Structure 1
């Protein structure tokens, strides 16, 4: 949608940020890249790129550590953050599921000069700390939880 809007309005400059969000486990446990969310320290890099490149149009960048993370590594990192065991049920691969999925972060590094500073354990710890402080998410209270 943003690509179409930018195409119809060429004066707009748009940067799309992509990161991998795992949705299931496989027997091998492979899911691909670290699904760390978009860090706050990325904004200056994006602004610099947008203002320095007036004809940027609409461009996408993959974000992450550049290192694959298995589902089992992710579970282990969350167990450390939560300080409790997480129940896991291993299921067979579904038809059409990929063995491994990776996304290159080289473009974000080369064009924005941005690299992830932290790994999966820090991401899980920070997510758990945020969730404990914000049990109803961004809306802030039980009345607005929908």
Structure 2
């Protein structure tokens, strides 16, 4: 089954690839790798703001990370056109806006990691970092960047 068919079958709709918010490009292709700039948590209602450990639940953080994942895939599609060209999700680096005593960053970033496996199957399994940040741009809850390998 194609990636587009998988998305449709699972009821997953990709957002439009977000425009950069500062002086950078949304993705860079180098050889067979595509580096996608950090995507911040946003949905159809706007930015998903909040701080884990301070009024935002782990489940809300997981949902915010999943939205980052959808934007990563949208940027990847803008970069390569055909998502069936994805050979592997190589690495995710996730940043969680959280208090100093919050320790569930890996659970939050699983929202994105689980999406990658759901969409790309075994090729969606990846290396990863999940770290805390005392604040993130525009007050968002989560930001995630990614590296993808493209076939051909």
Report if TM-score (shorter chain) is over 0.5.
Answer: no
TM-score by length of 1: 0.25
Question: Which structure has the higher relative contact order (CA within 8 Å, separation 6+)?
Answer: 2
- Judging by fraction of residues, say which structure has more strand: 2
Structure of higher CA gyration radius: 1
